[in-house]
Structure 1
Amino acid sequence: MSLTQEASERIRDAIVSGKFEFGERLSEEQIARALGMSKAPVRAAFMELRDMGLVTIVPQAGTYVFTPSRKDVEEMSQFRAMLEKEALQMALVRNRSGLVQQLSAAISQMDHAIESGDRLRYSTADSAFHRVILQIAGNRYLEKAYDLTATALAALRARLQSGEGDYWHRSYAEHTRMRDLIDQGEFDAAHALLQEHILIINRSLALPDTNTQIRQKAQLRSDQECQELLLQSQG
C-alpha cells in the first residue's frame, strides 16, 4: 500500500465513521504528523477524497469534511435507489442463489457487529450487503456510477446509526427480510423494501435545506486527538 493510499483510507474511515465531523477543517500538516509521513501523500489523499465527495477543498482557506444539505441527500439517495433497483433485477437473473448466499454472509457480519457493539464494523457489513447486489449484477459501469455516492452515503448512515437507538435492529431486520424475500421468490416485495430502505435516510437525518446553512469549522483538533482518531479508524 502506498503512503497516499494509507492516508486516504485512514482519513476516509475517520470521516465515514463520524470521528471527523461535517464541516470540520482538516490540516494537511497535522494529519501528516499524525500518520508519520510527509505532506505530499496527504495532499494527494485530499484530492482522492474530494473526488469521492468526502471533502471540499477551498483555495486559500483549507480542506473541510463535506457538508451535505437535505437536497444533496435526497438526490444522492434517489440516484442510489434507481441504480440498486436495476442492479437487483440484473443480479436476480444472473445468479439468484449466489446472491442469497453472499447477502447471508454480509448479514452474518452485521450480526457479529451488533453483538460486539462495533458501529464501524456494522457500517462496513451494511455497505458490503449492497455492494454484493452491484457485483452480482455484473455491469462495471453500473458499479462505477454507484461509487459516485456510495462513500458519502455510508458516512450519512454512520451518523444515523449514532443518532437513533433502534437503527441497528431496524436496519438488520430490513436486510434480513430483503434476503428472505429474494430467497422465497417474492421479487416485487424485495424491490419495494429495498427502495424504502434506501430512501428512509431522507426522513431520518436532520439537515439544512442548503449547504450555506452549515458553517465550516476553523478550529483544529489537537495533534494528539487527531492522531488518536486516525488510529481508531483502522480498528
Structure 2
Amino acid sequence: MTDDLTLNMDAYLPLRDVVFNTLREAILKGDLKPGERLMELQLAAKLGVSRTPIREAIRMLEQEGLAVTMPRKGAEVAKMTLKDMEDVLEIREALDELAVKIACDKISEKELQKLLEVKDQFENSTKTGDVKMIAEMDVKFHDVIFESTGNPKLVTLLNNLREQIYRYRVEYIKNPDNYPVLIAEHNAIAEGLKNRDKEAATLAMHKHVKNQAVAVKSVIQCQDEAENE
C-alpha cells in the first residue's frame, strides 16, 4: 500500500465522504493499484480514523465500480475490464443521446448560455494540466444538458451512471492528445443544441461517447498486456 496516503480534510464534509474522496483520488491517480487489498484496519491506522468511515467509504467505492469485495479476501481495488467498460458506456451512449434529444426541445436560453460558458471553461481547464479539474468541467458540461431535459428521473439515472464512468473518464482525460477532440466534440454538441438540431446534436454525442470508448479500450488493453508480460 502506498505511503503517500493522507487524509484530505474538508470541514464541510462528513468524515465518511472525506475518506471516500481520499481513497477515490488515490485509486484514480494510481497510488492504490488494481487488485490491491483495501484492509479496513490498515487504512484506518494510516488515515487516523476508526473502521466505520473506512467501511462506509469502501461501500461508496463499490457503487462507483472502483472497489469490489472478493469472497474470503475482502475488498480490493477493482480492475478495469473491457466488459465493464463496454457495458457502462453502452448504457451511457443510449442515455446521453436521449438526453440531448430532449434538451433540443426543452433547453432554455439561460441554460444554453450556461452550457456555452461551461464549454469555454472546459477548454480553459485543458490548459492547466489538472486532470481532476478537467474531468470535473467535463462532468459539469454534461450536467447542464441533463438538467435542461426537465426530467428528474432521467437525471437520477444519469447521475448514478456518472459515478460508474468517472474512472474511464479520468483515464481518457489523462492523455492531453485527446483534448482537441474533446473540445471539438463539445463545440459540436453545443452547436446542435443551439440550433435545436436533434440529428446533429445526437450524432455529435454519439461520436463523443464512441471516441472515449475506443481510447479507454486501448488503455485497458495496454494494461492487460503489461500484466501478462
TM-score (norm 1): 0.79
**CA distance, structure 1, for counterparts of residue 51 and residue 119 of structure 2:** 39
Counterpart of 2:193? 182
Q: Contact 1:114–1:168 (CA<8 Å) still a contact in 2?
A: yes
CA-CA distance at 1:197 after TM superposition: 0.6
**CA distance, structure 1, for counterparts of residue 117 and residue 44 of structure 2:** 37
**CA distance, structure 2, for counterparts of residue 41 and residue 177 of structure 1:** 43
- Asked if 1:23 corresponds to 2:23, the answer is no
Code of the aligned partner of 2:186: H
Q: Name the SS of the counterpart of 2:32 in structure 1.
A: coil
Match of 2:97 among 85, 89, 94: 85
Q: Contact 1:8–1:46 (CA<8 Å) still a contact in 2?
A: yes
Q: Between the two structures, name the one with larger relative contact order (CA 8 Å, sep ≥ 6).
A: 1
Q: Contact 2:100–2:193 (CA<8 Å) still a contact in 1?
A: no
Larger mean Cα displacement after TM superposition, 176-185 or 192-201: 176-185
TM-score (norm 2): 0.80
CA-CA distance at 1:4 after TM superposition: 1.1
Q: Contact 2:126–2:134 (CA<8 Å) still a contact in 1?
A: yes
Q: Name the SS of the counterpart of 1:151 in structure 2.
A: helix
- Asked if 1:192 corresponds to 2:218, the answer is no
Code of the aligned partner of 1:122: I
Count of matched residue pairs? 211
Counterpart of 1:14? 26
Change (3 A) 1:186 1:44: same
Q: Name the SS of the counterpart of 1:63 in structure 2.
A: strand
Match of 2:213 among 195, 202, 209: 202
Q: After superposition, where does 1:78-227 map in structure 2 within 5 Å?
A: 78-162=90-174, 164-204=175-215, 205-206=217-218, 207=220
1:66-105 superposed Cα distances (whole Å, 9 cap, x missing partner): 2232122112111011111111222222224233222223
What RMSD over aligned residues (CA atoms) do the two structures have, in Å?
2.5
Change (3 A) 1:89 1:17: farther
Q: Contact 1:25–1:63 (CA<8 Å) still a contact in 2?
A: yes
Q: Where does the alignment leave 5 or more consecutive residues of structure 2 unmatched?
A: 1-12
Q: Contact 2:135–2:170 (CA<8 Å) still a contact in 1?
A: yes
Counterpart of 1:223? none
Hey, which bits of structure 1, 4+ residues long, moved more than 6 A?
none
**CA distance, structure 1, for counterparts of residue 169 and residue 113 of structure 2:** 24
**CA distance, structure 2, for counterparts of residue 21 and residue 108 of structure 1:** 34
Q: Name the SS of the counterpart of 1:25 in structure 2.
A: coil
**CA distance, structure 2, for counterparts of residue 166 and residue 193 of structure 1:** 19
Q: Contact 1:81–1:198 (CA<8 Å) still a contact in 2?
A: yes
Change (3 A) 1:111 1:46: same
CA-CA distance at 1:18 after TM superposition: 4.6
CA-CA distance at 1:124 after TM superposition: 0.7
**CA distance, structure 2, for counterparts of residue 179 and residue 19 of structure 1:** 36
